Amino acid sequence: MKKLNIGLIGYGFMGRTHSNAFRQVNKFFQLGYEPVLKAVCARDEAKVKAFAQNWGYETYETDWRKLIERADIDLIDIATPNNMHAEIALAAAKAGKMILCEKPLSMDGKQGAAMVKAIEKAGVPNMVWYNYRRVPAVTMAKQLIDEGRLGRIFHYRAKFLQDWTISKDLPQGGAALWRLDVKAAGSGVTGDLLAHCIDTALWLNGSIGTVSAMTETFIKERKHNLTGKVEKVGIDDACAFLARFDNGSLATFESTRYARGHKALYTFEINGEHASIAWDLHDLHRLQYFDHRDESKLRGWRSIHVTDGDQPYMKNWWVPGLQIGYEHTFVHQVADFIAGLDAQTPAHPDFRDALETQYVCDAVLKSAGTGRWEKVRKLK
């Protein structure tokens, strides 16, 4: 098996999910490459050293530029706040490294387009961590749609609800709270949560043509952790938008961090001419399916427990009926990325796919400002 030397940047929430995936993947998937945890990078030396020891990284760095310069690193994995993705990706592409980048790809579409240009010029394998595509039940939804079981699609409905920023005393900025600082995050729930919903939707139902959105920032000022001053809040706390897909279907998307009682309620429902499907992250192994072609006296919503060997990814895990979880979506993503290297057929979503999501986010935020329907920029 060939070695794939990983250089991870950022050891927070995503740094952990990625490290776990790199460690697990060869135990469960037959692949031509083995990820080697070569180096992890973050600024705090004591903490990055402890992280390296805990996860088994051979070495660590405190300056990401040094990591990129290293000849013993094949792949740069970007798990830093959003405002750092572009600079790191551009440098990594220039150095000829493969790149895995966290979502959202960039701060906005313009920056994302520059990243796509650079990475395609460099010709390096790349992927963006929109991991929800690789929940087995979500992958199965894609299969059912591609098999034509739903027929013509009429409706797509998605939401992603949280409740962790309701307190007005919560500061913005710095470690753990960079998501509230527009300079680090680019936007609020639109880039953070709706980007996931949009990526899944584009994958399942094709391109979005136009959007009409509203956003709100409920808490207008918060103390900034880096300056110590009370500063204006620049992110959207909540966003809801209507969309028209190019296939003629209509959609509603909603996201907020002010839905008391919800921690990570990502759901979608798709209604087609013959059948409907629904999925809920809180019950991620189940795909709800209704087929109007069933015999009428038995017709009803089926709750499919996606754990059998002929359902996506599941033959690689335990025995039928036994579940896997959130962390496995990252294992699947690494497995597919490596399988793409083996077969020389790149896995998705790559930077270009993620740019399409960025363009939808741009149109959503523009529409929230103008109060008008806005067209989504098309990929060139």
Ligand X SMILES: NC(=O)c1ccc[n+]([C@@H]2O[C@H](COP(=O)([O-])OP(=O)(O)OC[C@H]3O[C@@H](n4cnc5c(N)ncnc54)[C@H](O)[C@@H]3O)[C@@H](O)[C@H]2O)c1
Q: Which residues form the interface with ligand X (CB under 6 A)?
A: 9-15, 41-43, 64, 79-82, 84, 102-103, 129, 131, 176, 178, 192
How distant is the alpha carbon of residue 380 from its chain centre? 22
CB-side exposure of 273: number of CA atoms within 13 Å?
6
Shortest distance in whole angstroms from residue 135 CB to ligand X: 11
User: Which one, 64 or 268, has the nearer CB to ligand X?
Assistant: 64
Q: What is the DSSP string of 59-73?
A: EEES-HHHHHH-TT-
Shortest distance in whole angstroms from residue 80 CB to ligand X: 4
User: Which one, 82 or 357, has the nearer CB to ligand X?
Assistant: 82
User: Which one, 294 or 327, has the nearer CB to ligand X?
Assistant: 327
Shortest distance in whole angstroms from residue 378 CB to ligand X: 25
Shortest distance in whole angstroms from residue 57 CB to ligand X: 13
CB atoms within 10 A of CB 341: 19
Distance (Å, rounded) from C-alpha 89 to C-alpha 274?
43
Shortest distance in whole angstroms from residue 310 CB to ligand X: 27
User: Which one, 253 or 289, has the nearer CB to ligand X?
Assistant: 253
User: Which one, 165 or 212, has the nearer CB to ligand X?
Assistant: 165
Q: Which of 123, 142, 218, 144 is nearest to 180 (CA)?
A: 218
Q: Which of 89, 132, 115 is nearest to 330 (CA)?
A: 132
User: Which one, 285 or 374, has the nearer CB to ligand X?
Assistant: 285
Shortest distance in whole angstroms from residue 366 CB to ligand X: 21
Q: Helix or strand or coil: residue 313?
A: coil
Pull the structure tokens for residue 315.
Answer: 């033959």
User: Which one, 103 or 286, has the nearer CB to ligand X?
Assistant: 103
User: Which one, 176 or 230, has the nearer CB to ligand X?
Assistant: 176
Element counts in the chain: helices (H) and strands (E): 11, 17
Shortest distance in whole angstroms from residue 176 CB to ligand X: 6
Pull the structure tokens for residue 287.
Answer: 């795909």
Instruction: Name every residue whose Cβ is closer than 8 Å to that of residue 169 and which is 6 or more positions away in sequence.
Output: none
Shortest distance in whole angstroms from residue 286 CB to ligand X: 20
By the 10 Å C-beta count (0-12 exposed, 13-18 middle, 19+ buried), 191 is classed as buried
Q: Are 142 and 130 in contact (CB under 8 A)?
A: no
Beta strands in 57-207 (DSSP E): 59-61, 75-78, 98-101, 126-128, 153-161
Give the nearest residue (CB) to ligand X. 12
Shortest distance in whole angstroms from residue 240 CB to ligand X: 20
Scanning the structure block, which residue is given the tokens 């709800």? Answer: 288
User: Which one, 13 or 301, has the nearer CB to ligand X?
Assistant: 13
Distance (Å, rounded) from C-alpha 159 to C-alpha 172?
24
Distance (Å, rounded) from C-alpha 335 to C-alpha 24?
10
Q: What is the DSSP string of 215-255?
A: EE-SS-EEEBTTT-SEEE--S-SEEEEEEEETTS-EEEEEE
Distance (Å, rounded) from C-alpha 34 to C-alpha 25?
8
